Amino acid sequence: QRTLQTFGTGRQYPLVAVFHVESGDIRAQSGIEAAIAAGAAENEGSRVSSWFATKDEAFVSADRKTMFAQIYPTGESTFESVLPIEETRRALAANAPAGVTTHVTGVDAIFQSQGETGGPSVLIEVLIGGIGALLILLFVFGTLPAVLMPLLVAVSSILTTFLCVYGLTYVTDVSVVVQFLVALVGLGIAIDYTLLMIFRFREEIAN
């Protein structure tokens, strides 16, 4: 919080710009510092840490063919915050010297590649979990009304919790992991609780 207050950055994961050359010393390649600056310019107000600023060998691989720089975006991470990852990637590639390959990685870059292009959404994961639960519940209960009750409770509880979390994001920061936990715990507890309800109901009928 002090770093954010003083510098305007430090509360978001940095974008990691990676540079690689097949032969020679990556530090001797002219133009990499300008490429880093171009990538940082796509993140307005960002700060940069690199070998050029610090001369710290931690930014360079042991074989001197690869180096990285960290671009720290401004502000705090929220559900709505979207970093210009693709723009940064294009700026690095366009300004890097010939023979130097560029990449952008980091927590947000990995999340973007997994969550938007190749990974399943929360809805798909809940549907997969719901179908699996449906098959198991059909085996356990054997009747459709008893099977549908846990799923109805799960739907109502998950959507209600999402609504509460959405309201909470206007008050404080909420981790993106929460959406997966809500789906997972909501489905599991809904099934557990309705199992208790149904078996108690059947016990009372038997009595």
Cβ within 8 Å of residue 10, ≥6 positions away: 3, 4, 72
Cα separation of 157 and 99, whole Å? 55
The token pair at 113 is 């590649």
CA 179 to chain centre: 11
pTM of the model: 0.57
DSSP-H helix ranges across 29-171: 32-41, 51-54, 85-95, 107-112, 122-141, 144-168
pLDDT in tens, 73-103: 987 766 566 888 999 999 999 999 999 999 9
What's the token pair of residue 157? 């509880």
The whole-angstrom separation of Cα 150 and Cα 201 is: 14
Q: Within the chain, which residues score under 50 in pLDDT?
A: 116-118
pLDDT at 115: 54
Decide if 191 contacts 154 (C-beta within 8 A): yes
Residue 88 has what pLDDT?
94
One-letter amino acid of 145: P
